[in-house]
Amino acid sequence: MPKLKSWVSAARLRTLPLSISGIIVGTSLGTETDLWKSSVFWLAILTTIGFQVVSNFANDYGDGIKGTDDEREGEQRLVAAGIITEIQMKSMIIKTTIITLIVATLLIYQAFGSEDFLHSLLFFVLGIASIIAAIKYTVGKNAYGYSGLGDLFVFLFFGLLSVLGSNYLFTHQFQWELLLPASTIGLLSMAVLNLNNMRDIENDKKNNKNTLVVKLGSTKAKIYHYFLVETAMFLVIIFTYLNYHSPKQLIYIIAFIPLLLNLLTVYKNKEPKLLDSELKKVAFSTFGFAVLFGIFF
């Protein structure tokens, strides 16, 4: 059995702050009470972390068995390196999925109780859909990450579902204007994926992984990246304008500084593998934005 260190590496902990950013934004807009004392908040965080870890395990497994990770840049992938076998990873994906669904069920019960069956059923179905999306990104013959649809799914699950869904757990109602901050998180999450795919463009081409970057080419992928980051910042500023009541609401702009620096780095970049450090910069900037937004908005 692989050591705990190997499983921690496969879980790719550096991706977790980005995955919970939408939860922080959505829940902070859903209640004025202390989130840190809310069981719904913490169960939502644990559920989202579970989904992300399942996704990371499945990504390691899917790319590993296809040979896509054999010459990739960035973090070592455990199945491709032979440190974790295909059977061991598949077993861990199943176990993590079961645990995550149990936590998700507790979250749904805590948010809606035993009487609101329709809402409970809806969110349980969304939980199942999240698991399927996490696994199908790279696993199977029709893995959507290999056909350029990864960006769309990231926007839907990291952005819209994460923010709007977590907000609904508290408010039990849908607010159209929340599409603005939800889109901000979704677009920044897409920017992280875009950087990942820009870094891996040559390796992905060799392995027929037709990401959106492979389809666009490096030059257009850069333009696409500028659009994602700039639109994300613009949308949340519009949301702030519509709900403005204090200058402190704009403190989150501090998190935009590294994002602007990232745009400059991408503009100057000529070696895709050097973009690896930029993934962490954008991911943690998104998390920083979410925290500042959640505290001061």
Q: Where are the alpha helices (DSSP H) in 155-255?
A: 162-171, 179-199, 201-206, 212-216, 218-242
Mean pLDDT for the chain? 91
pLDDT for the residue numbered 90: 93
Sketch out the chain's domains with CATH numbers: 4-296 (1.10.600)
Of 115-119, 161-165, 289-293, the poorest mean pLDDT is in 115-119
Distance of CA 95 to the CA centre of its chain: 21
Q: How confident is the model at residue 213 (pLDDT cuts 50, 70, 90)?
A: very high
Q: How far apart are CA 146 and CA 139, in angstroms?
A: 10
Question: 138 by DSSP, 3-state: which?
Answer: coil
Q: How confident is the model at residue 55 (pLDDT cuts 50, 70, 90)?
A: very high
pLDDT for the residue numbered 34: 76
Contact 213, 175 (CB under 8 A): no
User: What is the number of alpha carbons within 13 Å of residue 189 lying toward its C-beta?
Assistant: 31
Q: How far apart are CA 93 and CA 222, in angstroms?
A: 34
Question: 290 by DSSP, 3-state: which?
Answer: helix
Read off the pLDDT of residues 159-210 as tens digits, 9 standing for 90 and up. Answer: 999 999 999 999 999 999 999 999 999 999 999 999 999 999 988 888 888 9
pLDDT for the residue numbered 240: 97
pLDDT for the residue numbered 39: 92
Predicted confidence (pLDDT) at residue 48 exceeds the cutoff of 90: yes
Q: How far apart are CA 209 and CA 272, in angstroms?
A: 16
Average pLDDT on 277-287 reads: 95
Of 99-108, 189-198, 199-208, 247-256, the poorest mean pLDDT is in 199-208
Average pLDDT on 74-102 reads: 87
Predicted confidence (pLDDT) at residue 68 exceeds the cutoff of 70: no
Of the chain, the percentage scoring pLDDT greater than 90 comes to 70
- Is 119 exposed, middle or buried, given 0-12, 13-18 or 19+ CB atoms closer than 10 A? middle
Contact 107, 115 (CB under 8 A): no
pLDDT for the residue numbered 71: 58
